[in-house]
Amino acid sequence: MKFVSTRGGMAPANFMDILLDGLAPDGGLVVPETTPRLNTDELAALRDLSYAELAARIIGLFATDIPREDLERITETAYGTDRFPENTVPVTYLHDEFFLVGLSAGPTMAFKDLAMQFLGQAIPYVLEKTGRTLNIVGATSGDTGSSAEHAFKGAPGVSVYMLSPKGRMSAVQRAQMYSITDSNIHNLVVDGVFDDCQDIVKAVNNDADFKRTHHIGAVNSINFGRIAAQVVYYFWAWLRYTDIVDEDYTTENAGHREIAVCVPSGNFGNIYAGHLARRMGVPIARLMLATNENNVLDEFFTTGHYTPRSRENTYATSSPSMDISKASNLERFVYDLVGAKEFPEAWAQLDAQGTVDLESYVARLGAEFGFASAKSVHQDRLDSIRATFEETGVVIDPHTADGVTVAKRLSDATLPVLIMETAKPDKFRETVVEALGQDAPDTSDVVKDMLKREQFTVDMPNSADAIKAYIEEEDR
Ligand SMILES: *Cc1c(COP(=O)(O)O)cnc(C)c1O
C-alpha cells in the first residue's frame, strides 16, 4: 500500500514513512492510493477476533510494510488490559433503535485513546527501526493532547510539545495533561483558541528547515496513522452489533446488516474513518454527523458550502472538544468527493475566497456517500443527557449527547443507529450535573486524586516564532 497527497505533490510513500509526519510536503493531507475492500466472507471471518487481533488485521491493510507479527505485538500492547482494563470497545443497546459504542474506555476517558495508543507503540517502533528521534508538535482542544501525552510519556526517542488554548478546557482535561511529570512531555499553554494553536502547528510544519533540523512530527487528527486505527472500531462496532441482534448471524446475511452511525464531530477525523470503513465494506448505510453550535460541518453537509470561521466566531460551548471552526480532515473527504483531478481547483477556492462552493455535489453527499447532518445546542445536550439517563440509566457526556440529539433527529427508525460515545461523563462533569442535578453520579476516586496533583505548564503567546524558539532551546 502506498500513500499520496491530496494535492498531488508527494511521491508515493510507505506507511512507516507517513506515520511520522502530519501534513504532506506539499501542504496537502496524506491519503491511501487505493481503498482496500473486504467482501462479505472476509467480513464474516472477522467475527471471532479480539479487538487487538482485529486492529492488526485492519491496520495491516494500510501498514503493509510492517511485518504482521510486529503489528500484532504493537496492537496487543496498545489495546491490552494495561490500557483498557475492561472491554476495549463495549457496544451496548440503549433503547428503540439506538446503540452506544463505548469509545472512551481508555486511560484518558475519550475516544482519542484508541488512535493514540496505537501511535504510542507504532511510532517508537519505527524510530527504533530507523535510528531516528522525533519531536511531536501538536494542538489540542483538550482530548487529543491528553491522550497523546498518556500514549507517549516516557517513550524512547520521542518528545511531545502540546499546545493547548488558555482557559478553554475542563478541569479534568487540564489535570490529565498538566499533571504528567515525565520530562519528555511539554505543556505549552497558548493565549488563543484551538484554531490558533492549530495554525501555529501548521506554521511550524511549513518551515521546512526547522522541521528537518528538529525532526518535527505530528499526531493530530491529520496523521493518517490515527485514521487507520480509528477505522478499526467501525468494523468492531458493526460486528458486535450483529452479535447483539442476531444469534443466528450467518455468512449469507452478513452483507445485509446495514446500520447507521452517528458521530459527534469537530475536526472530521472520527467520521472520516467511518467513511473509509464504509468504503472498505462495513455496511454503513448512513453516516450521521453531529456538530454543536460550531456548525461549519453541518453547514457543509446541508448546503455544500464550507466556510471555516475565525477565532471571534468560534463559540465556547459545553461540548468543548467540538469547538472547531476549521475541520482539517475535511480535505480528505472533499478529495474523495470531487476526485483527484478536480480537487486542486476546488480546494484553491479556500485560499482565494475563504470558502469552498460544492453546492453542485450536495445531492451526492447523501445519496452516494451516505451523509446526513444536524447540529445541537446546549439545551439539547442537557435534554439528551437527562432523557438517556431516564430511559436507560446510562450517563453520557455532553459530546455524546450531541450525538444522541442528532441521532434522534435524523433517524427514521428504519435502521439501527450506533452512536459513538466520545468521552466519559466524569470528564465533563459540570454539564452532567447541570442536566442531572442530584442524580449525577459522584466523581470517581481516580479523577478526584488526579485533580489534586500539581500541574506543570509553560505560558506562551499566540506566536509560531515563540513556540519554535522554545523547541529549539529544549532540543539542543
Ligand atoms: C475530538 C473529539 C471529538 C471530535 O472528533 P473529530 O475526530 O475531531 O471530529 C468529539 N468528541 C470528543 C470528546 C473529542 O475528544
Minimal-distance CA residue to ligand 1 atom 1: 321
Residue 95 is placed in which grid cell? 433503547
Nearest atom (ligand 1) to Cα of 265: 9
Give the containing element (helix H, strand E) for 102.
strand 98-102
Q: For position 249, what pLDDT does the model report?
A: 53
Closest residue by Cα to atom 14, ligand 1, is 321
Which among 147, 221, 270 is the best mutation to test ligand 1's pocket, defined by most ligand atoms within 8 Å of the CB? 270
Ligand 1 centroid to Cα of residue 41, in Å, is 32
Helix (H) or strand (E) holding 215: none
Q: Is the pTM of this model over 0.75?
A: yes
Measured in Å, residue 195 CA sits from the centre of ligand 1 at: 14
Q: Which atom of ligand 1 is least distant from the CA of 268?
A: 9
Look up residue 458 and give its amino acid: V
State the pairing for strand pair 30-32/3-5: antiparallel
For 280-411, where are the alpha helices, taking DSSP H only? 296-303, 330-338, 343-353, 362-367, 378-392, 398-410
**Overall size of the chain counted in residues:** 476
Distance (Å, whole) CA 193 – CA 320: 11
Q: How far apart are the C-alpha atoms of 159 and 165, rounded to whole Å?
A: 20
The H or E element containing residue 119 is helix 112-130
pLDDT at site 254: 54
Tens digits of pLDDT across the chain (476 residues): 999 999 999 999 999 999 987 678 898 999 999 999 999 899 989 999 999 999 999 999 999 999 999 999 999 999 999 999 989 999 999 999 999 999 999 999 999 999 999 999 999 999 999 999 999 999 987 778 899 999 999 999 999 999 999 987 888 889 999 999 999 999 999 999 888 998 999 899 889 999 999 999 878 778 999 999 999 999 999 999 988 887 655 555 555 589 999 999 999 999 999 999 999 999 999 999 999 999 999 999 999 999 999 878 989 899 988 988 889 899 999 999 999 999 999 999 998 999 999 999 999 999 999 999 999 999 999 999 999 999 999 999 999 999 999 999 999 998 999 999 999 999 899 999 999 999 999 998 989 999 999 999 999 999 999 999 999 999 88
Pocket of ligand 1 (CB under 6 A): 110, 112, 143, 221, 264-270, 321-322, 399, 422-423
CA of 463 to the centre of ligand 1 (A): 25
**C-alpha cell belonging to residue 57:** 488485521
Q: Which of 375, 391, 380, 392 is nearest to 288 (CA)?
A: 375
Answer whether 224's CB lies under 8 Å from 399's CB.
no
Helices H / strands E in the chain, number of each: 20, 15
Our mutation pick for probing the ligand 1 site, out of 29, 101, 113, 143, counting the most ligand atoms within 8 A of Cβ, is 143
* Residue 441 DSSP code: P
CB 222 within 8 A of CB 115: no
Instruction: State which of 100, 112, 420, 432 you would mutate to test the pocket of ligand 1, scoring each by most atoms of that ligand within 8 A of its C-beta.
Output: 112
Task: Give the pLDDT confidence score for residue 160 in this predicted structure.
Answer: 96
| Calpha distance 139→467 (Å, rounded) | 12
Q: Are 157 and 134 in contact (CB under 8 A)?
A: yes
3-class secondary structure per residue, 55-96: HHHHHHHHCCCCCHHHHHHHHHHHHCCCCCCCCCCCEEEEEC
Active site residues: 112
Q: How many CB atoms lie within 10 A of CB 227?
A: 24
Partners of residue 260 on adjacent β-strands: 286, 417
